[in-house]
Homo-oligomer: A and B are copies of this chain.
Amino acid sequence: MLEGQKRVRFDPQLAGRKVEHGRLPGDTVVRIERTGAFRRRGQNVLIATDEAHDPRAGLDRVVTKVKRALIGAPVATHEAHHERLSKVKALAVLSSDALSSSAYATEQIVIVLVTAGALALSYTAPIAVAITALLLIVGVSYRQTIKAYPRGGGSYIVTKDNLGAFPALCAGAALMTDYVLTVAVSISAGVENFVSAVPAFDPFAIEIAVAVVALMTVVNLRGVRESGTIFAAPTYLFIGTAGLMILVGLWRIVAGEPPAHDVTGDPSAYPAEAPLTFFLVLQAFASGCAALTGVEAISDGVPAFKPPEWVNARVTLTWMVGILALLFTGISFLAIHYRVLPRPDETIISQLNRAVYGSDTPLYYLFQIAIMLILALAANTAFSDFPRLCFFLARDRFLPTQFSFQGDRLAFSTGIMVLGVLAGVLLVWFEARTEALIPLYAVGVFVSFTLSQASMVVRWWRRREPGWRTGMPINALGALTTGIVAVVIASTKFVHGAWIVIVLIPFIIANMWGINRHYRRVATQMELPTDAPPVVPLPDAPIIVPVPGLNRAVARTMSIVGGMSRNVVAVHVTDSRERAKEIRAQWEREVPGVALVTLESPYREIVDPLLAYLDAVQEQVGREVPIVVVLSEFVPRHLYEFPLHNQTALGLKARLFFRPNTIVMDVPYHLDK
């Protein structure tokens, strides 16, 4: 309780001065000499120390502890980790998404072709050649981008730079859908390879996939350092084991040995369900284009390379494209040669693995593990790419501000959580089946490829820098081919799921555009003109205190607000005249300084008469004068006691929130027991 008139003083800088404080004027009490939570740096500037982040008592302590256990202790901004990557490490960090596609791309071609019967599989070879050619074109094209944007040339940034905000949003929205799909497709493919090796887990494929997404979300909220050393292992393990399997497979074929495990599919089990049309071949090609996803990663990440950045990045890109081309063609060749057919219970790559090494051999398991690891790593890449893209979009105010906040651990927590939830929903919805997800995939990637390459064409044309006569045609070819492929993918897979992405991208763009417009409007409204007159305090603001009667909480509230204005009125809404009279008598004795107004409410309703009273006061003081409404709220000691209190205060608060020019002051009364 506050008793007597007390002089309250404090030093805003928390300096170690003596602080006058006491019951009677003149009492002097030294409160603190210094506080450990802050260090002082110049006039009115304090730096929060670790102590300022120590968990407080009660619920707060519990929440903080759970959070720290889950995602770890906070990391200071200046501790941000920026490892510069050598070419060898960069290849590991930046190519997992691209290289991992080779684990499922061939299968996706075969799955489409086989609907026209097993004979249609003869088209696998030309399709694989076409995709490899496309890969080389895109690779050469991106070599230009790397040189032009040594500070990082993601599609959104490159497009914004050359084509403007709207195309950039298209690229951004396309990439967003694609990152979500990268997670979903990589994890579903990884889980499929896991259950191919360990069929007992087949019934739990969806659960495993969702658990992996959840784990990745938490791990990324902790903040994964893009440590080249750690990431190198799975990538090189995959390159090594995939290369080895292809070589051993080729050697077996050359040596004329039969497969170690018979995997040749039974063609009669695959009757032609559809005619072998040109459209179907295009569709198979479109599915196989999933092999190209992730190729853009190196051009996004140029600044992470050791200097000279662009040179190293270019070399790495060339290596990556070369390795991917070899793996993809090698795996496709083996698949064609062994005449493997898609099976619901085993992936094609696992079948090839068995054919080369035999079932359940150590090398079989090693390669399966490598596949799973690289697919997990690929999914994990999206967990840094998606939040970073969202950060760029939020920085340009196309997404809500919270996407630009770095959490305790420097991770963009909002983006990570949104990605985790969306990928989880996709996996559940499509039952973690890669085949079902593939039609949605790659549309976004090729839209962003096209916009990015087209931007480069515009850039060459505008700048005419040395080399533009070679560079521009290369990028033009890139833009043209990727543009055509984007149309092919969108049209051939439209009914199978691409329509979802095609509907979604404009929807995302419209939303981002709306968000941006809203933020711009708000900024205009909120801006304080540089020549605005200085702020003048408003004396004696009208303060209305609804009271249920007179008790300690109300007395304390009246003491606090009584000193803030000379326009304080207590309002008591009642449906009992007798009780109102008793309260008034007590009030006049105990709170002589403040008028009590009784509002009789015939409908036993408290909120409506109070709002009507506020309206009447507002009419008197003028629309532009704010009214302060003071609410006393009980804070019981236990959470489960909350429903026993504050029903009226909460209802009133909800209504007051929408009333213009109304300030709500919550005076909590913490119950002792």
Q: Which residues on A are within 8 Å of B, measured CB to CB?
A: 1-14, 19, 21, 29, 31-32, 35, 37-38, 41, 44-48, 51-53, 56, 58-60, 74-78, 400-402, 405-408, 410, 515, 518-519, 521-522, 525-528, 532-542, 550-553, 555, 558-565, 567, 569, 573, 575, 580, 584, 586, 589-605, 608-609, 611-613, 615-617, 619-622, 624-626, 628, 634-636, 641, 643-645, 647, 655, 657-658, 660-673
Q: Closest approach, in angstroms, between the C-beta of A558 and any C-beta of chain B?
A: 5
Q: A53 is contacted by which of B41, B410, B532, B605 (Cβ under 8 Å)?
A: B605
Question: Which residues of chain B have C-beta atoms less than 8 A from A527's C-beta?
Answer: 551-552
Q: Closest approach, in angstroms, between the C-beta of A50 and any C-beta of chain B?
A: 9
The CA of A560 and the CA of B664, in the complex, are separated in Å by 13
Taking A519-B644, A597-B46 as contacts, is the C-beta distance between A536 and B673 under 8 angstroms? Answer: no
28 contacts between A and B (CB under 8 A): A2-B626, A6-B625, A12-B569, A32-B620, A37-B609, A37-B613, A37-B615, A38-B599, A44-B595, A44-B596, A46-B613, A52-B608, A52-B613, A58-B658, A60-B655, A75-B603, A76-B602, A78-B602, A400-B644, A408-B603, A519-B644, A525-B552, A527-B551, A527-B552, A535-B590, A635-B658, A663-B666, A664-B666
Across the interface, do B660 and A35 meet the contact criterion of CB distance under 8 Å? no
With both beta carbons as reference points, the residue of chain B lying nearest to A79 in the complex is identified as B602
Across the interface, do B657 and A635 meet the contact criterion of CB distance under 8 Å? yes
With both beta carbons as reference points, the residue of chain B lying nearest to A641 in the complex is identified as B518
Q: A525 is contacted by which of B13, B51, B673 (Cβ under 8 Å)?
A: B673
Question: Which residues of chain B have C-beta atoms less than 8 A from A552's C-beta?
Answer: 525-528
Question: Which residues of chain B have C-beta atoms less than 8 A from A669's C-beta?
Answer: 526
Q: A538 is contacted by which of B2, B402, B539, B601 (Cβ under 8 Å)?
A: B2
Taking A48-B600, A580-B45, A665-B665 as contacts, is the C-beta distance between A563 and B538 under 8 angstroms? Answer: yes
The CA of A25 and the CA of B373, in the complex, are separated in Å by 77
Taking A56-B611, A575-B77, A604-B405 as contacts, is the C-beta distance between A540 and B595 under 8 angstroms? Answer: no
Across the interface, do A521 and B612 meet the contact criterion of CB distance under 8 Å? no
Across the interface, do A602 and B77 meet the contact criterion of CB distance under 8 Å? yes
Across the interface, do A532 and B37 meet the contact criterion of CB distance under 8 Å? no
Question: Which residues of chain B have C-beta atoms less than 8 A from A406's C-beta?
Answer: 604
Q: Closest approach, in angstroms, between the C-beta of A574 and any C-beta of chain B?
A: 9
Across the interface, do A537 and B525 meet the contact criterion of CB distance under 8 Å? no
Question: Which residues of chain B have C-beta atoms less than 8 A from A565's C-beta?
Answer: 563-564
With both beta carbons as reference points, the residue of chain B lying nearest to A604 in the complex is identified as B406
Question: Which residues of chain B have C-beta atoms less than 8 A from A603's C-beta?
Answer: 48, 53, 74-77, 408
Taking A536-B5, A564-B541, A595-B12 as contacts, is the C-beta distance between A38 and B616 under 8 angstroms? Answer: yes
Residue in A542, A564, A658, A669 whose Cβ sees the most chain B Cβ within 10 Å:
A564
Known: A48-B599, A534-B590, A537-B558. 17 other contacts (CB 8 A): A8-B539, A10-B617, A31-B622, A44-B595, A46-B598, A48-B602, A48-B609, A52-B612, A53-B603, A53-B612, A60-B658, A76-B603, A401-B644, A408-B603, A526-B669, A537-B561, A564-B564
Taking A10-B621, A665-B665, A671-B522 as contacts, is the C-beta distance between A598 and B45 under 8 angstroms? Answer: yes
Taking A31-B619, A541-B8, A616-B38 as contacts, is the C-beta distance between A525 and B672 under 8 angstroms? Answer: yes
With both beta carbons as reference points, the residue of chain B lying nearest to A624 in the complex is identified as B2
Q: Closest approach, in angstroms, between the C-beta of A38 and any C-beta of chain B?
A: 7
Q: Closest approach, in angstroms, between the C-beta of A151 and any C-beta of chain B?
A: 21
Question: Which residues of chain B have C-beta atoms less than 8 A from A561's C-beta?
Answer: 537
Q: A74 is contacted by which of B59, B519, B605 (Cβ under 8 Å)?
A: B605
Q: A8 is contacted by which of B8, B586, B611, B625 (Cβ under 8 Å)?
A: B625
Question: Which residues of chain B have C-beta atoms less than 8 A from A410's C-beta?
Answer: 604
The CA of A669 and the CA of B647, in the complex, are separated in Å by 25
Complex copy number for this chain: 2
The CA of A45 and the CA of B584, in the complex, are separated in Å by 10
With both beta carbons as reference points, the residue of chain B lying nearest to A644 in the complex is identified as B400
The CA of A58 and the CA of B659, in the complex, are separated in Å by 10
Across the interface, do B660 and A10 meet the contact criterion of CB distance under 8 Å? no
Question: Which residues of chain B have C-beta atoms less than 8 A from A641's C-beta?
Answer: 518
Q: Closest approach, in angstroms, between the C-beta of A614 and any C-beta of chain B?
A: 10
The CA of A669 and the CA of B379, in the complex, are separated in Å by 42
Taking A8-B625, A9-B567, A605-B408 as contacts, is the C-beta distance between A537 and B522 under 8 angstroms? Answer: no
Question: Which residues of chain B have C-beta atoms less than 8 A from A558's C-beta?
Answer: 535, 537
The CA of A527 and the CA of B549, in the complex, are separated in Å by 11
With both beta carbons as reference points, the residue of chain B lying nearest to A37 in the complex is identified as B612
Across the interface, do B657 and A616 meet the contact criterion of CB distance under 8 Å? no
Q: Closest approach, in angstroms, between the C-beta of A363 and any C-beta of chain B?
A: 48
The CA of A406 and the CA of B555, in the complex, are separated in Å by 28
Across the interface, do B624 and A1 meet the contact criterion of CB distance under 8 Å? yes
Question: Which residues of chain B have C-beta atoms less than 8 A from A522's C-beta?
Answer: 634, 636, 645, 671
Q: A537 is contacted by which of B10, B562, B645 (Cβ under 8 Å)?
A: B562
Question: Which residues of chain B have C-beta atoms less than 8 A from A616's C-beta?
Answer: 14, 32, 35, 37-38
Q: Closest approach, in angstroms, between the C-beta of A89 and any C-beta of chain B?
A: 28
Question: Which residues of chain B have C-beta atoms less than 8 A from A9's C-beta?
Answer: 567, 620-621
Taking A401-B644, A515-B644, A658-B58 as contacts, is the C-beta distance between A44 and B671 under 8 angstroms? Answer: no
Across the interface, do B518 and A644 meet the contact criterion of CB distance under 8 Å? yes
Residue in A44, A60, A537, A619 whose Cβ sees the most chain B Cβ within 10 Å:
A537
Q: Closest approach, in angstroms, between the C-beta of A580 and any C-beta of chain B?
A: 7
The CA of A564 and the CA of B538, in the complex, are separated in Å by 8
Across the interface, do B518 and A538 meet the contact criterion of CB distance under 8 Å? no
Question: Which residues of chain B have C-beta atoms less than 8 A from A1's C-beta?
Answer: 624
Q: Closest approach, in angstroms, between the C-beta of A453 and any C-beta of chain B?
A: 34
Question: Which residues of chain B have C-beta atoms less than 8 A from A13's C-beta?
Answer: 597
Across the interface, do A534 and B673 meet the contact criterion of CB distance under 8 Å? no
Question: Which residues of chain B have C-beta atoms less than 8 A from A408's C-beta?
Answer: 603, 605
Q: A48 is contacted by which of B37, B550, B560, B612 (Cβ under 8 Å)?
A: B612
The CA of A46 and the CA of B521, in the complex, are separated in Å by 43
The CA of A650 and the CA of B91, in the complex, are separated in Å by 43
With both beta carbons as reference points, the residue of chain B lying nearest to A52 in the complex is identified as B612
With both beta carbons as reference points, the residue of chain B lying nearest to A558 in the complex is identified as B535
Question: Which residues of chain B have C-beta atoms less than 8 A from A608's C-beta?
Answer: 48, 52-53
With both beta carbons as reference points, the residue of chain B lying nearest to A655 in the complex is identified as B60
With both beta carbons as reference points, the residue of chain B lying nearest to A39 in the complex is identified as B600
Across the interface, do A563 and B535 meet the contact criterion of CB distance under 8 Å? no
Q: Closest approach, in angstroms, between the C-beta of A462 and any C-beta of chain B?
A: 33
